[in-house]
Amino acid sequence: MSGKFITVEGGEGAGKTTQLAFMREVLERAGCRVTSTREPGGTALGEEIRSLLLDHRHDGMALATETLLMFAARAEHLERVIRPALAAGRWVLCDRFTDATYAYQGGGRGLPPERIAILEDWVQGGLRPDLTLVFDVPVAVGLERAGRRGAADRFEREEKVFFERIRAVYLDRARRDPGRCRIVNADRPVEAVRTEVEAILAGWLERG
């Protein structure tokens, strides 16, 4: 079976990390070879770019800089990790991808989506995820969960309205692209979320 490109999205505290580990397990049990990775990051250079992006020393970074750094890390990630893994028949499970740029830099910070689309076409060519799971929780619930994890990074420090705009963009994009995206209600006990995630993946595995 050829590999698929699966991305996982959601606001802060949506429970992505727990579900990603479970998704890997489900895929491996089905005999898939899986590459788990994340954005921004996933390569040595990309992880350095991630540190720059999340660090409070760079509070007030220009929006163009922030967006270009996201795509710089993505270009590296695509060339060194994602494309080679897919070409080798592996499944790629990626914690955030370009939907996050539309949600955070577009919705959150107000960058026109047309600008993001130009970079998306340039950096990715025709490559888009085959499946995207959007873990959705009310902003207050997500921020409360994320707040328990320790020091807030440059994004986590933002106001609640910033995250409301992010959530709205994620939901809007997912609804407009139902062939690729599934919205998973993550405001439920972890077991219930797992059951739904497993069912979605089972559907995909059956399709081959």
Residues in contact with ligand TMP by the rule CB under 6 A: 39-40, 70, 95-96, 100-101, 104-105, 155
**Whose Cβ is closer to ligand TMP: residue 96's or residue 165's?**
96
**Whose Cβ is closer to ligand TMP: residue 3's or residue 142's?**
142
**Whose Cβ is closer to ligand TMP: residue 88's or residue 140's?**
140
**Whose Cβ is closer to ligand TMP: residue 76's or residue 95's?**
95
* Residue 29 CB, nearest approach to ligand TMP (Å): 25
The Cα angle at residue 76 between residues 71 and 81, in degrees rounded to 5: 125
Nearest to 103 by CA among 7, 196, 194: 7
Q: What share of the chain is helix, strand, coil (3-state, %, to 5)?
A: 60, 15, 30
* Residue 40 CB, nearest approach to ligand TMP (Å): 5
* Residue 101 CB, nearest approach to ligand TMP (Å): 4
* Residue 89 CB, nearest approach to ligand TMP (Å): 25
Distances (CA, A) of 135 to 13, 84, 95: 9, 27, 11
Helix (H, G, I), strand (E, B) or coil at 11: coil
Rounded Cα distance between 111 and 104, Å, is: 9
Number of other residues whose CB lies within 10 A of the CB of residue 180? 15
